[in-house]
Structure 1
């Protein structure tokens, strides 16, 4: 699929898939969306509920690496040990990654951002004292983890273009992968997705959404 660069509302870039008329992030702001959904309502929510200094996170849709990079920055700031697993069926190529402007806007390390993408798949890579990364190239339906993760960033493409990723079958796998009291956060607020999450046992909250979106969802096991 052809991907083209798109500037979003906060000045950060995302990639647009013309075949689907879909992009990797909100057109209202790629960084703003990631910070609100995954850092504020995901990571910071977990920190408010737990006294642990180590967390295991799985990201559904590693994509541009933005969520992983923001989480790395938070791990350094908070001296939090993060074990990060990114699942992606169709990795981007390095030339696409280099067109993104996240590091300049965040005033953060380009070297680390690129390392997230050049690190080998299916191997644990130590990015820093506080952050390690394991990337897995597979379909979300192939996830078999059980009672492993504290937090899931569910950042799959939208239900309009990939409804098969927002089913009870997929959310059952997410529920299985979380430890008790673990949480899943997603930018989505679609009623079908919410009902699928509830059907497999999630306690689901509707939360205020990121810029340009009224609501998002958080599910707790």
Structure 2
């Protein structure tokens, strides 16, 4: 661990599938599921979100834009960038993160094991710059991390897929309020996909009231179900 007091509350911990996550002692929560960080990220966001959109949108593989609420360690981004790079899909990725991790802390996650070296190296080299504006990591992938809280985020852009990966409602209830969810969905394109690891009655009611079609999907290890929602065309 770094001795930097600004990250003294953060600890890298292993999860059940062998991948690491980070425990935030201030929030009292892990950045990923202890049942498997890598499995959760792939299942919930890449497969149930990105791949589902590409398969069902009718737009082919020409390009995709992703907004992530809770950029955190960057694992969801790295797996998404790898998927798109392998298939030469143009990816515009924006992450919202109120408390960005340091480059040093991200470098200790061990996520270099799960993506090709060029993607990992470009991510670390451009991470700090991406906090200032959009940067091109390779021919296909552009990244911008908005260092602000969710309600402070604004953008003229709309996105094909939204990854909602905030800390659990038990620890950050404000992130799951009607105001927060409505603000998030303002940035979703018609026909776009919203995915999250959680599924509660209140979340379903909020999203249905905002005019989206809610789908229950099989959850990642440790969770029976997750939520996916589709906006109308």
The bucket for the TM-score relative to the shorter chain is over 0.9
SS across alignment from 1:141: helix
Q: CA deviation at 1:56?
A: 1.0
Match for residue 189 of structure 1? 199
Counterpart among 71, 92, 96 of residue 83 in structure 1? 92
- 1:116–1:189: structure 2 CA closer, same or farther, 3 Å change rule? farther
1:118 aligns with 2:132: no
1:174-213 superposed matches below 5 A: 174-213=184-223
Decide which of 24, 28, 36 is 1:21's aligned counterpart: 28
Compared with structure 1, are the counterparts of its residues 147 and 118 closer, same or farther at alpha carbon in structure 2 (3 Å cutoff)?
closer
Note if contact 2:123-2:137 (Cα within 8 Å) is conserved in structure 1.
no
The TM-score with structure 2 as length reference comes to: 0.89
Q: SS at the partner of 2:72?
A: coil
Work out whether residues 78 and 115 of structure 2, in 8 Å CA contact, stay in contact via their aligned partners in 1: no
1 CA distance for matches of 2:78 and 2:180? Answer: 25
Gap change, CA 1:19 and 1:142, over 3 Å in 2: closer
Is 63-72 or 168-177 further displaced after alignment?
168-177
Q: CA deviation at 1:105?
A: 4.3
Matched pairs, number: 221
| TM-score normalised per structure 1 | 0.94
Q: Which moved more, 1:110-119 or 1:189-198?
A: 110-119
SS in 1 for 2:174: helix
Q: Structure 1: any 5+ residue segments left out of the alignment?
A: none
Cα contact 1:205–1:218 (8 A) shared by 2: yes
Contact 2:219 2:225 in 1 (8 A): yes
For structure 2, list consecutive stretches of 5 or more residues without a partner in the other structure: 1-6
1:104 equivalent in structure 2: 113
Partner of 1:4: 11
Residues 17, 37 of structure 2: 8 Å contact kept: yes
Corresponding residue to 2:172 among 162, 178, 186: 162
Q: Which residue number corresponds to residue 153 of structure 2?
A: 143
Output the CA distance in 1 between the equivalents of 2:32 and 2:126: 18
Aligned to 1:71: 80
